[in-house]
Amino acid sequence: MVQLTKKILKGSYAPLKGKFDKDIDNLIGSLLVIDPNHRPNINQILKHPVIFARIEKVLAKDVKEAELGHTILHGINALSIENSLVQKEEEKYEAEILQRKKTLKSDCLNEAQRDDDHDEGETTGPKKN
């Protein structure tokens, strides 16, 4: 155990590649960073895709609230951050879809106008002087 502690303190440990999912490798690597200022805080850990998915899959809503509702860092509840971030992502996604729809509609209208202009040119023919 002492050897393991020394390795962790030095940032020298065997890579986990191939043993776990890439996301888990990344999470564990971020937790073992030597400088504590560069490690994720509890809110970041709880929002990590692997942890978040496991929480959603395993814990019922009331259990999740009871177990994680008290997880607070810098006066911010981890669950409320999670919910607000999800809401912000949904709003961002909806805004992107709306913008794409507007762009597509505009492109279609422009294309239709070009077609109309082209058709008018064919029916009237070139102007003669």
Q: What is the pLDDT of residues 79-117, one digit of tens each?
A: 555 555 555 666 676 777 778 878 877 877 787 788 777
Q: Exposure of 35 by Cβ count < 10 A (0-12 exposed, 13-18 middle, 19+ buried)?
A: exposed
Same domain, 54 and 15: no
Q: How many domains does the chain have?
A: 2
Same domain, 28 and 46: no
pLDDT, residue 101, reads 77
| 127: in domain | no
Q: Which residue has the higher pLDDT, 98 or 129?
A: 98
Query: Is residue 29 predicted with pLDDT exceeding 80?
Result: yes
> pTM to 2 decimals?
0.47
| 124: in domain | no
pLDDT, residue 66, reads 77
Beta bridge partners of 73: 76
pLDDT, residue 82, reads 52
| 54: in domain | yes
Same domain, 110 and 52: yes
Same domain, 20 and 59: no
Domain that holds residue 16: 1-33
Same domain, 29 and 44: no
User: Model confidence at 28, in pLDDT bands (50, 70, 90)?
Assistant: confident
- Spatial contact of 38 and 5, defined as CB atoms under 8 Å apart: no
Same domain, 105 and 63: yes
Residue with tokens 């002492």: 2
Structure tokens at 40: 């994720």
Same domain, 19 and 44: no
| 125: in domain | no
Q: Quick: pLDDT tens for 32-86.
A: 888 888 899 888 888 888 888 888 888 888 888 777 776 655 455 555 555 555 5
| 121: in domain | no
Query: Is residue 121 predicted with pLDDT exceeding 60?
Result: yes
